[in-house]
Amino acid sequence: MLNRYHALFIFSLAVLTGCAETAPTVRHTSPFPSTIALLPLSNQSLNLRAPELLRELLDTYLSAANFNLMDVKEADEKLHGIGITEGGQLQSAAPRKLADLLEADALLYGDIETFNNANIGVYAGRTVKVRMWLVDAKTGATLWESEKSKANSQLGLSKAVVKDILVKGYADKAVENMMDSPLRPESEEVVRLLVRDLGKARRAW
């Protein structure tokens, strides 16, 4: 009797395992958007250069990943025509209206949550945090969303280390300001991670 129940248990487990392994992957019924408009990013940070820098990087990385993007300058000209000059103003227009204006299948929004280079006494910290989301032009539904951040920090526990942190921190900031490219390494890493996530979503579509 025990052998009979044991065999029945093994058979049931095999059936359940087989079902789990062969379960089909859920796919979208509509194709992945063929044309995407990369919109100006809204900015919660105090750095006025951040939206332009990150958008430039996103445009470069997305194009390199073979996403079909609308020309950013052309998009900006059309947005300026309806009074939108920065990302924070995008909420005043419905996605369908923006998509019709830009002739895009989807809209890629972004929000800069943190863009900070702090160099205070014993502590130096560099942080970039960005959230992106892709919106369907017809339905206004969010098709994809991701948030990525990159932080580099250093804490000095001795006078010598504190001095090194201060000197290096101010030197890095001075060079980046001179090159008009603040927090470039952190920004590139965040953008790379976001584009990688969107690429995964496209492959799994």
3-class state of residue 71 by DSSP: coil
Where residue 120 falls among pLDDT bands split at 50, 70, 90? low
pLDDT tens figures, 79-96: 999 999 999 999 999 999
- The full set of domain ranges for the chain reads 28-203
Residue 28: pLDDT band (50, 70, 90) is confident
Q: What pLDDT is recorded for position 30?
A: 87
For residue 147, pLDDT beyond 80: yes
Q: Return phi, psi of residue 111, to 5°.
A: -135, 125
Flag whether pLDDT at 124 surpasses 80.
no
The DSSP H or E segment spanning 202 is helix 184-203
Among residues 150, 145, 155, which one has the least CA distance to residue 111?
Answer: 145
pLDDT at 155 over 60: no
Per-residue confidence (pLDDT) for residue 76, from 0 to 100 = 98
3-to-9, 11, 13, 15, 16 alpha-carbon distances in Å: 10, 12, 15, 18, 20
pLDDT class of 179 with cuts at 50, 70, 90: very low
Query: What per-residue confidence (pLDDT) applies to 154?
Result: 58
In CATH, what class is 28-203? Answer: alpha beta
Minimum mean pLDDT among 18-27, 56-65, 92-101: which range? 18-27
The three-state secondary structure class of 144 is: strand
Q: In the chain, what percentage of residues exceed pLDDT 90?
A: 65
pLDDT of 3 > 90? The answer is no
Token pair, residue 132, equals 């992106």
Average pLDDT of the residues in 151-157:
63
